[in-house]
Amino acid sequence: MKNLFLLIIMVITASSCSNPSPDKAHTRAIFNAGKLSVITSFANRKQQTMSVLYGNDAAKEYALSSYQVHKSGEVFKLVIFRQADNKYWHGSYINGKLLSEETITSDLSHLVYRLEQGTAPVDSLGQQISAEARIALILSHKPSVFP
Amino acid sequence: MQFVKQPVQNAPTTHPIKAPAEVTNILKRACYDCHSNETKLSWYDKVAPISWLVNKDVTTARSRFNFSTWDTLTHADQQSRVWEMVNMVLTNKMPLSTYATMHPQSRLSNKEVSILKTYANSLSPAKYHDTTVVNERDWEFEHFKLKPVAATRNLVAANGVKYIPDYQNWQVISTTNRFDNHSIRVVYGNAITVRAIKENHINPFPNGATIVKVVWNSIEEKNGDINPGSLSSVQIMTKDDQKFPDSKGWGFAKFNSINLKPYGNTAAFNTTCFNCHKAASDNGYVFNIPLEKKDLK
Protein backbone atom coordinates (compact mmCIF):
# COMPACT_ATOMS: atom_id res chain seq x y z
CA MET A 1 0.00 0.00 0.00
CA LYS A 2 2.84 2.35 0.93
CA ASN A 3 4.60 1.50 -2.35
CA LEU A 4 1.43 2.20 -4.31
CA PHE A 5 1.10 5.58 -2.57
CA LEU A 6 4.72 6.44 -3.39
CA LEU A 7 4.19 5.35 -6.99
CA ILE A 8 1.15 7.63 -7.32
CA ILE A 9 3.13 10.58 -5.90
CA MET A 10 5.97 9.89 -8.35
CA VAL A 11 3.61 9.73 -11.33
CA ILE A 12 1.92 13.00 -10.35
CA THR A 13 5.30 14.70 -9.84
CA ALA A 14 6.69 13.40 -13.14
CA SER A 15 3.65 14.50 -15.13
CA SER A 16 3.80 18.03 -13.70
CA CYS A 17 7.44 18.35 -14.72
CA SER A 18 6.85 17.87 -18.46
CA ASN A 19 8.05 21.43 -19.17
CA PRO A 20 10.65 22.25 -16.50
CA SER A 21 12.18 25.73 -16.48
CA PRO A 22 15.34 25.48 -18.55
CA ASP A 23 18.74 25.41 -16.91
CA LYS A 24 21.39 27.75 -18.29
CA ALA A 25 22.68 25.39 -20.99
CA HIS A 26 19.19 24.81 -22.33
CA THR A 27 17.99 28.43 -22.47
CA ARG A 28 17.45 29.95 -25.88
CA ALA A 29 18.55 33.54 -26.46
CA ILE A 30 16.31 35.88 -28.44
CA PHE A 31 17.83 39.27 -29.28
CA ASN A 32 15.56 42.09 -28.15
CA ALA A 33 15.75 45.07 -30.51
CA GLY A 34 13.21 47.02 -28.48
CA LYS A 35 11.07 49.25 -30.68
CA LEU A 36 13.28 48.84 -33.76
CA SER A 37 12.06 46.68 -36.61
CA VAL A 38 13.84 44.82 -39.41
CA ILE A 39 15.15 46.82 -42.37
CA THR A 40 17.01 43.91 -43.91
CA SER A 41 18.85 40.67 -43.23
CA PHE A 42 21.83 39.10 -45.01
CA ALA A 43 24.45 36.41 -44.57
CA ASN A 44 27.88 35.39 -45.78
CA ARG A 45 28.64 31.70 -46.16
CA LYS A 46 32.43 32.12 -46.31
CA GLN A 47 32.57 34.30 -43.21
CA GLN A 48 29.83 32.13 -41.65
CA THR A 49 27.85 35.11 -40.43
CA MET A 50 24.16 36.04 -40.39
CA SER A 51 23.15 39.65 -39.86
CA VAL A 52 20.01 41.64 -39.15
CA LEU A 53 19.82 45.41 -39.66
CA TYR A 54 17.12 46.99 -37.50
CA GLY A 55 15.93 50.59 -37.57
CA ASN A 56 13.33 52.99 -36.26
CA ASP A 57 10.83 54.65 -38.60
CA ALA A 58 13.21 57.50 -39.46
CA ALA A 59 15.96 55.01 -40.26
CA LYS A 60 13.61 52.99 -42.47
CA GLU A 61 12.66 56.12 -44.43
CA TYR A 62 16.33 56.99 -44.85
CA ALA A 63 17.05 53.46 -46.11
CA LEU A 64 14.09 53.57 -48.51
CA SER A 65 15.47 56.78 -50.01
CA SER A 66 18.62 54.77 -50.81
CA TYR A 67 20.26 56.65 -47.94
CA GLN A 68 19.94 59.95 -49.81
CA VAL A 69 17.34 61.88 -47.80
CA HIS A 70 18.62 62.21 -44.25
CA LYS A 71 16.64 63.62 -41.34
CA SER A 72 17.74 63.54 -37.72
CA GLY A 73 16.61 60.94 -35.23
CA GLU A 74 17.56 57.84 -37.22
CA VAL A 75 18.56 54.82 -35.18
CA PHE A 76 20.11 51.80 -36.91
CA LYS A 77 21.21 48.64 -35.17
CA LEU A 78 23.23 45.90 -36.87
CA VAL A 79 23.43 42.55 -35.10
CA ILE A 80 25.81 39.92 -36.45
CA PHE A 81 25.59 36.25 -35.46
CA ARG A 82 27.70 33.23 -36.22
CA GLN A 83 25.93 31.17 -38.90
CA ALA A 84 25.15 27.77 -37.43
CA ASP A 85 23.79 24.55 -38.87
CA ASN A 86 20.10 24.30 -38.19
CA LYS A 87 20.07 20.88 -36.56
CA TYR A 88 16.32 20.68 -37.02
CA TRP A 89 16.50 20.88 -40.85
CA HIS A 90 19.44 19.80 -42.97
CA GLY A 91 19.58 22.35 -45.76
CA SER A 92 19.23 25.32 -43.45
CA TYR A 93 21.49 27.64 -41.45
CA ILE A 94 20.25 29.56 -38.44
CA ASN A 95 21.68 32.38 -36.37
CA GLY A 96 24.03 31.07 -33.68
CA LYS A 97 26.24 32.92 -31.23
CA LEU A 98 25.91 36.72 -31.16
CA LEU A 99 29.18 38.21 -32.44
CA SER A 100 28.52 41.94 -32.36
CA GLU A 101 25.93 44.67 -31.93
CA GLU A 102 26.61 48.06 -33.54
CA THR A 103 24.45 51.17 -33.42
CA ILE A 104 24.31 54.19 -35.71
CA THR A 105 22.38 57.22 -34.52
CA SER A 106 22.03 60.62 -36.10
CA ASP A 107 23.17 63.65 -34.17
CA LEU A 108 21.85 66.76 -35.97
CA SER A 109 23.84 66.67 -39.15
CA HIS A 110 26.11 63.71 -38.73
CA LEU A 111 25.92 60.02 -37.96
CA VAL A 112 27.43 58.54 -34.79
CA TYR A 113 28.73 54.97 -34.61
CA ARG A 114 28.96 52.87 -31.46
CA LEU A 115 29.95 49.26 -30.81
CA GLU A 116 27.51 48.06 -28.11
CA GLN A 117 28.84 44.57 -27.53
CA GLY A 118 31.07 41.91 -29.04
CA THR A 119 33.85 42.39 -31.60
CA ALA A 120 33.23 44.51 -34.68
CA PRO A 121 34.03 42.90 -38.04
CA VAL A 122 37.55 43.49 -39.35
CA ASP A 123 38.74 43.93 -42.91
CA SER A 124 40.19 41.20 -45.13
CA LEU A 125 43.66 41.80 -43.63
CA GLY A 126 42.31 41.43 -40.11
CA GLN A 127 42.63 45.16 -39.43
CA GLN A 128 40.11 47.19 -37.47
CA ILE A 129 37.70 49.19 -39.61
CA SER A 130 37.16 52.90 -38.84
CA ALA A 131 33.80 54.13 -37.59
CA GLU A 132 33.25 56.07 -40.85
CA ALA A 133 33.96 52.98 -42.91
CA ARG A 134 31.64 50.86 -40.74
CA ILE A 135 28.85 53.41 -41.18
CA ALA A 136 29.34 53.40 -44.95
CA LEU A 137 29.33 49.60 -45.08
CA ILE A 138 26.29 49.19 -42.86
CA LEU A 139 24.34 51.81 -44.78
CA SER A 140 25.10 50.18 -48.13
CA HIS A 141 22.48 47.48 -47.50
CA LYS A 142 19.27 47.86 -49.49
CA PRO A 143 16.10 47.38 -47.44
CA SER A 144 14.33 44.06 -47.92
CA VAL A 145 11.02 44.18 -49.74
CA PHE A 146 8.08 43.70 -47.42
CA PRO A 147 4.57 43.38 -48.87
CA MET B 1 -8.78 -15.91 -43.61
CA GLN B 2 -8.60 -12.11 -44.11
CA PHE B 3 -11.65 -10.67 -42.25
CA VAL B 4 -13.04 -7.62 -44.05
CA LYS B 5 -10.19 -5.42 -45.32
CA GLN B 6 -8.46 -6.20 -48.62
CA PRO B 7 -4.69 -6.60 -48.38
CA VAL B 8 -2.36 -4.04 -50.01
CA GLN B 9 -2.77 -3.87 -53.77
CA ASN B 10 0.01 -3.03 -56.17
CA ALA B 11 -0.44 -0.89 -59.25
CA PRO B 12 1.65 -0.16 -62.33
CA THR B 13 4.76 2.00 -62.17
CA THR B 14 3.89 4.76 -64.60
CA HIS B 15 6.37 7.59 -63.85
CA PRO B 16 9.35 6.15 -61.98
CA ILE B 17 11.95 8.31 -60.27
CA LYS B 18 14.96 9.08 -62.46
CA ALA B 19 18.04 9.22 -60.27
CA PRO B 20 21.57 7.73 -60.21
CA ALA B 21 21.65 3.97 -59.66
CA GLU B 22 23.40 4.29 -56.27
CA VAL B 23 20.43 6.40 -55.10
CA THR B 24 17.63 4.22 -56.53
CA ASN B 25 19.28 1.07 -55.14
CA ILE B 26 18.97 2.51 -51.62
CA LEU B 27 15.41 3.70 -52.18
CA LYS B 28 14.28 0.37 -53.65
CA ARG B 29 15.71 -1.60 -50.77
CA ALA B 30 14.73 0.66 -47.89
CA CYS B 31 11.69 2.67 -48.98
CA TYR B 32 9.80 1.09 -51.88
CA ASP B 33 7.74 -1.37 -49.85
CA CYS B 34 5.71 1.54 -48.47
CA HIS B 35 6.46 4.42 -50.81
CA SER B 36 5.80 2.81 -54.20
CA ASN B 37 3.34 0.64 -56.12
CA GLU B 38 5.82 -2.25 -55.92
CA THR B 39 5.16 -3.33 -52.33
CA LYS B 40 6.69 -6.74 -51.57
CA LEU B 41 4.87 -8.40 -48.71
CA SER B 42 6.33 -11.06 -46.44
CA TRP B 43 3.96 -13.86 -45.41
CA TYR B 44 3.25 -12.28 -42.02
CA ASP B 45 2.33 -8.96 -43.67
CA LYS B 46 -0.67 -10.71 -45.25
CA VAL B 47 -2.14 -12.08 -42.04
CA ALA B 48 -4.76 -10.12 -40.09
CA PRO B 49 -4.46 -8.08 -37.93
CA ILE B 50 -0.90 -7.25 -39.12
CA SER B 51 -2.24 -6.85 -42.66
CA TRP B 52 -4.55 -4.07 -41.42
CA LEU B 53 -1.57 -2.10 -40.07
CA VAL B 54 0.41 -2.77 -43.26
CA ASN B 55 -2.53 -1.58 -45.36
CA LYS B 56 -2.81 1.64 -43.33
CA ASP B 57 0.93 2.34 -43.36
CA VAL B 58 1.34 1.72 -47.09
CA THR B 59 -1.72 3.80 -48.02
CA THR B 60 -0.44 6.69 -45.89
CA ALA B 61 3.09 6.35 -47.27
CA ARG B 62 1.94 6.32 -50.89
CA SER B 63 -0.21 9.40 -50.30
CA ARG B 64 2.85 11.21 -48.94
CA PHE B 65 4.89 10.42 -52.05
CA ASN B 66 5.03 7.51 -54.45
CA PHE B 67 8.22 6.58 -56.32
CA SER B 68 6.16 4.82 -59.01
CA THR B 69 4.42 8.06 -60.01
CA TRP B 70 7.30 10.32 -58.97
CA ASP B 71 7.86 11.97 -62.34
CA THR B 72 4.33 13.44 -62.31
CA LEU B 73 5.57 15.89 -59.66
CA THR B 74 7.04 19.24 -60.70
CA HIS B 75 10.81 19.57 -60.39
CA ALA B 76 10.34 21.89 -57.40
CA ASP B 77 8.05 19.34 -55.68
CA GLN B 78 10.48 16.50 -56.38
CA GLN B 79 13.33 18.54 -54.95
CA SER B 80 11.45 19.44 -51.78
CA ARG B 81 10.31 15.82 -51.25
CA VAL B 82 13.92 14.60 -51.47
CA TRP B 83 15.01 17.11 -48.82
CA GLU B 84 12.06 16.08 -46.67
CA MET B 85 13.11 12.42 -46.99
CA VAL B 86 16.68 13.21 -46.00
CA ASN B 87 15.47 15.12 -42.97
CA MET B 88 13.02 12.42 -41.90
CA VAL B 89 15.89 9.91 -41.95
CA LEU B 90 18.29 12.29 -40.15
CA THR B 91 15.74 12.89 -37.37
CA ASN B 92 15.07 9.13 -37.09
CA LYS B 93 11.43 9.57 -38.06
CA MET B 94 12.01 7.22 -41.00
CA PRO B 95 12.00 4.29 -41.36
CA LEU B 96 9.15 3.82 -38.87
CA SER B 97 10.66 2.02 -35.87
CA THR B 98 7.83 -0.52 -35.83
CA TYR B 99 8.54 -1.34 -39.47
CA ALA B 100 12.33 -1.38 -39.15
CA THR B 101 12.26 -3.96 -36.35
CA MET B 102 10.81 -6.60 -38.69
CA HIS B 103 12.43 -5.19 -41.83
CA PRO B 104 16.06 -4.31 -40.97
CA GLN B 105 16.83 -3.74 -44.65
CA SER B 106 14.91 -0.47 -44.34
CA ARG B 107 17.62 1.04 -42.13
CA LEU B 108 20.18 3.26 -43.85
CA SER B 109 23.89 3.25 -43.06
CA ASN B 110 25.79 6.53 -42.57
CA LYS B 111 27.32 6.06 -46.01
CA GLU B 112 23.86 5.68 -47.57
CA VAL B 113 22.58 8.79 -45.80
CA SER B 114 25.61 10.62 -47.23
CA ILE B 115 24.72 9.42 -50.73
CA LEU B 116 21.17 10.74 -50.33
CA LYS B 117 22.45 14.08 -48.96
CA THR B 118 24.80 14.44 -51.95
CA TYR B 119 21.92 13.64 -54.29
CA ALA B 120 19.71 16.24 -52.57
CA ASN B 121 22.51 18.83 -52.87
CA SER B 122 22.82 18.06 -56.60
CA LEU B 123 19.16 18.99 -57.10
CA SER B 124 19.77 22.45 -55.64
CA PRO B 125 22.92 23.87 -57.27
CA ALA B 126 23.88 27.43 -56.36
CA LYS B 127 23.32 30.02 -59.10
CA TYR B 128 25.46 33.08 -58.48
CA HIS B 129 24.00 36.57 -58.94
CA ASP B 130 20.78 35.17 -60.45
CA THR B 131 19.73 38.14 -62.57
CA THR B 132 16.11 36.96 -62.69
CA VAL B 133 15.86 37.30 -58.91
CA VAL B 134 17.89 40.54 -58.96
CA ASN B 135 15.56 42.11 -61.52
CA GLU B 136 12.44 40.92 -59.67
CA ARG B 137 13.79 42.42 -56.46
CA ASP B 138 14.59 45.74 -58.12
CA TRP B 139 11.10 45.94 -59.61
CA GLU B 140 9.48 45.08 -56.27
CA PHE B 141 11.71 47.55 -54.43
CA GLU B 142 10.71 50.45 -56.67
CA HIS B 143 7.03 49.66 -56.03
CA PHE B 144 7.62 48.97 -52.33
CA LYS B 145 9.30 52.38 -51.95
CA LEU B 146 6.18 54.08 -53.24
CA LYS B 147 3.82 52.11 -51.04
CA PRO B 148 5.90 50.68 -48.17
CA VAL B 149 3.02 49.70 -45.92
CA ALA B 150 0.54 47.11 -47.13
CA ALA B 151 -2.97 48.51 -47.49
CA THR B 152 -5.45 47.09 -45.01
CA ARG B 153 -6.07 43.55 -46.11
CA ASN B 154 -8.61 40.89 -45.33
CA LEU B 155 -6.49 38.06 -46.57
CA VAL B 156 -7.55 34.63 -45.32
CA ALA B 157 -6.29 31.17 -46.20
CA ALA B 158 -8.76 28.35 -46.97
CA ASN B 159 -8.37 26.97 -43.42
CA GLY B 160 -9.34 30.28 -41.81
CA VAL B 161 -5.82 31.47 -40.88
CA LYS B 162 -5.64 35.21 -41.50
CA TYR B 163 -2.74 37.32 -42.71
CA ILE B 164 -1.32 39.42 -39.87
CA PRO B 165 -0.09 42.85 -41.07
CA ASP B 166 1.24 43.75 -37.59
CA TYR B 167 4.01 41.11 -37.48
CA GLN B 168 6.81 43.60 -38.14
CA ASN B 169 6.26 44.96 -34.61
CA TRP B 170 6.91 41.50 -33.11
CA GLN B 171 10.24 40.23 -31.88
CA VAL B 172 12.50 38.37 -34.29
CA ILE B 173 13.03 34.86 -32.91
CA SER B 174 15.48 33.70 -35.57
CA THR B 175 16.93 34.35 -39.00
CA THR B 176 17.75 31.55 -41.39
CA ASN B 177 18.89 30.90 -44.89
CA ARG B 178 18.40 27.68 -46.81
CA PHE B 179 20.69 26.25 -49.42
CA ASP B 180 18.15 23.57 -50.37
CA ASN B 181 15.66 26.05 -51.79
CA HIS B 182 17.82 29.22 -51.96
CA SER B 183 15.87 31.41 -49.63
CA ILE B 184 16.64 33.78 -46.76
CA ARG B 185 14.20 34.31 -43.93
CA VAL B 186 13.28 36.37 -40.89
CA VAL B 187 11.09 34.61 -38.33
CA TYR B 188 8.94 36.69 -35.98
CA GLY B 189 7.10 35.48 -32.87
CA ASN B 190 4.28 37.14 -30.95
CA ALA B 191 4.59 37.74 -27.19
CA ILE B 192 3.10 34.30 -26.35
CA THR B 193 5.64 32.58 -28.61
CA VAL B 194 8.60 34.52 -27.21
CA ARG B 195 7.60 33.72 -23.63
CA ALA B 196 7.02 30.06 -24.51
CA ILE B 197 10.50 29.77 -26.01
CA LYS B 198 12.15 31.48 -23.03
CA GLU B 199 10.28 29.28 -20.55
CA ASN B 200 10.75 26.12 -22.63
CA HIS B 201 6.99 25.61 -23.01
CA ILE B 202 7.39 24.37 -26.56
CA ASN B 203 6.18 20.81 -26.16
CA PRO B 204 3.52 21.81 -26.81
CA PHE B 205 3.46 25.53 -27.54
CA PRO B 206 0.53 27.21 -25.78
CA ASN B 207 -2.62 28.20 -27.65
CA GLY B 208 -2.32 31.66 -29.12
CA ALA B 209 1.37 31.23 -30.02
CA THR B 210 1.81 32.61 -33.53
CA ILE B 211 4.87 32.68 -35.75
CA VAL B 212 5.28 34.65 -38.97
CA LYS B 213 8.11 33.80 -41.32
CA VAL B 214 8.96 36.13 -44.20
CA VAL B 215 10.76 34.33 -47.03
CA TRP B 216 12.78 35.97 -49.77
CA ASN B 217 14.41 34.28 -52.75
CA SER B 218 18.11 34.68 -52.02
CA ILE B 219 20.75 36.22 -54.26
CA GLU B 220 24.00 34.31 -53.80
CA GLU B 221 27.40 35.71 -54.78
CA LYS B 222 30.74 33.99 -55.32
CA ASN B 223 32.23 35.87 -52.37
CA GLY B 224 29.73 34.11 -50.10
CA ASP B 225 27.22 36.97 -49.77
CA ILE B 226 23.59 35.91 -49.44
CA ASN B 227 21.18 38.81 -49.85
CA PRO B 228 17.40 38.95 -49.93
CA GLY B 229 15.93 39.20 -53.41
CA SER B 230 12.28 39.16 -54.43
CA LEU B 231 9.64 38.24 -51.88
CA SER B 232 8.76 34.55 -52.00
CA SER B 233 6.06 34.28 -49.35
CA VAL B 234 4.86 35.18 -45.89
CA GLN B 235 4.12 32.04 -43.88
CA ILE B 236 2.19 31.68 -40.65
CA MET B 237 1.82 29.08 -37.92
CA THR B 238 -0.78 29.70 -35.25
CA LYS B 239 -1.71 27.43 -32.32
CA ASP B 240 -5.34 26.63 -31.64
CA ASP B 241 -6.14 23.13 -30.37
CA GLN B 242 -9.87 23.59 -30.99
CA LYS B 243 -9.62 24.76 -34.58
CA PHE B 244 -6.81 22.45 -35.73
CA PRO B 245 -7.12 19.17 -33.83
CA ASP B 246 -5.65 17.04 -36.63
CA SER B 247 -2.35 18.88 -36.77
CA LYS B 248 -1.51 19.04 -33.06
CA GLY B 249 -3.22 22.41 -32.86
CA TRP B 250 -1.18 24.12 -35.59
CA GLY B 251 -2.91 26.09 -38.31
CA PHE B 252 -0.63 26.94 -41.24
CA ALA B 253 -0.88 29.54 -43.99
CA LYS B 254 1.28 30.68 -46.85
CA PHE B 255 0.72 33.92 -48.76
CA ASN B 256 2.69 33.77 -51.98
CA SER B 257 4.69 36.55 -53.63
CA ILE B 258 4.44 40.28 -53.21
CA ASN B 259 0.68 40.04 -53.94
CA LEU B 260 0.19 37.71 -50.93
CA LYS B 261 -1.92 35.16 -52.79
CA PRO B 262 -3.18 32.56 -50.26
CA TYR B 263 -1.86 29.06 -50.96
CA GLY B 264 -4.29 26.13 -51.01
CA ASN B 265 -7.68 25.76 -52.68
CA THR B 266 -9.20 23.88 -49.75
CA ALA B 267 -8.45 23.60 -46.02
CA ALA B 268 -6.78 20.24 -46.75
CA PHE B 269 -3.54 22.03 -47.54
CA ASN B 270 -3.03 22.28 -43.76
CA THR B 271 -2.26 18.55 -43.69
CA THR B 272 0.45 18.94 -46.36
CA CYS B 273 2.20 21.57 -44.27
CA PHE B 274 1.84 19.54 -41.07
CA ASN B 275 3.25 16.35 -42.64
CA CYS B 276 6.56 18.04 -43.33
CA HIS B 277 6.61 19.71 -39.90
CA LYS B 278 6.44 16.28 -38.28
CA ALA B 279 10.21 16.19 -38.73
CA ALA B 280 10.34 18.89 -36.01
CA SER B 281 7.99 17.11 -33.59
CA ASP B 282 10.66 17.23 -30.85
CA ASN B 283 10.44 21.04 -30.90
CA GLY B 284 6.71 21.49 -30.91
CA TYR B 285 6.69 21.16 -34.76
CA VAL B 286 8.64 24.41 -35.26
CA PHE B 287 11.91 24.23 -37.23
CA ASN B 288 13.27 27.70 -36.62
CA ILE B 289 13.33 28.05 -32.86
CA PRO B 290 16.58 29.55 -31.58
CA LEU B 291 19.37 27.13 -30.73
CA GLU B 292 20.00 26.28 -27.10
CA LYS B 293 22.92 28.01 -25.41
CA LYS B 294 24.88 24.76 -25.31
CA ASP B 295 24.77 24.64 -29.14
CA LEU B 296 26.10 28.18 -29.65
CA LYS B 297 29.69 28.20 -30.88
The verdict on a CB contact (< 8 Å) between A46 and B140 is no
Q: Determine the residue of chain B that is closest to A79 in CA distance.
A: B175
As a whole number of angstroms, the distance between CA A147 and CA B148 comes to 7
**B131-295 topology per CATH:** Chalcone isomerase (3.50.70)
Q: What is the pLDDT of residues B139-182, one digit of tens each?
A: 998 887 766 555 546 799 999 999 999 999 999 999 999 999 99
Out of B179, B186, B197, the one facing A30 most closely (by C-beta) is B197
Q: What is the pLDDT of residues B249-272, one digit of tens each?
A: 999 999 999 889 999 999 999 999
The verdict on a CB contact (< 8 Å) between A27 and B178 is no
As a whole number of angstroms, the distance between CA A50 and CA B83 comes to 23
The model's confidence at residue B91, banded by pLDDT at 50, 70 and 90, is confident
The verdict on a CB contact (< 8 Å) between A28 and B226 is no
Out of B201, B227, B255, the one facing A19 most closely (by C-beta) is B201
> Per the confidence metrics, is the pTM higher than 0.90?
no
Going by C-beta distance under 8 Å and a sequence separation of 6 or more, which residues neighbour residue B167? Answer: B188, B212, B214, B234
The predicted model gives A134-138 an average pLDDT of: 95
Domain boundaries, chain B: 21-122, 131-295
Nearest Cα of chain A lies from the Cα of B140 at a distance, in angstroms, of: 7
Residue A71 contacts residue A101 (beta carbons within 8 Å): no
Q: What is the pLDDT of residues A39-59, one digit of tens each?
A: 999 999 999 999 999 999 999
Mutate to test the interface with A, among B174, B282, B289 (most CBs of A within 10 A): B174
The verdict on a CB contact (< 8 Å) between B292 and A26 is yes
From residue A141, give the alpha-carbon distance in Å to each of B13, B217, B259.
Answer: 51, 16, 24
Per the DSSP assignment, residues forming a β-bridge with B172 are B188
The verdict on a CB contact (< 8 Å) between A144 and B224 is no
Q: What are phi and psi of B262, to 5 degrees?
A: -65, 135
Q: Determine the residue of chain B that is closest to A33 in CA distance.
A: B171
Mutate to test the interface with A, among B172, B183, B234 (most CBs of A within 10 A): B172
Out of B169, B173, B179, the one facing A30 most closely (by C-beta) is B173
Q: What is the pLDDT of residues B99-116, one digit of tens each?
A: 898 889 999 999 999 999
Q: What is the pLDDT of residue B226?
A: 97
Cis status of the peptide bond prior to A20, with omega within 30 of 0: no
Q: Which residue has the higher pLDDT, A71 or B238?
A: B238
Out of A28, A46, A145, the one facing B292 most closely (by C-beta) is A28
pLDDT cut 70: percent of chain B above it: 95
Reported ipTM: the value is 0.88
Q: How far is CA B225 from the centre of its chain?
A: 26
Nearest Cα of chain A lies from the Cα of B189 at a distance, in angstroms, of: 10
The model's confidence at residue A87, banded by pLDDT at 50, 70 and 90, is confident
Nearest Cα of chain B lies from the Cα of A69 at a distance, in angstroms, of: 13
Domain boundaries, chain A: 32-138
Q: Determine the residue of chain B that is closest to A90 in CA distance.
A: B87
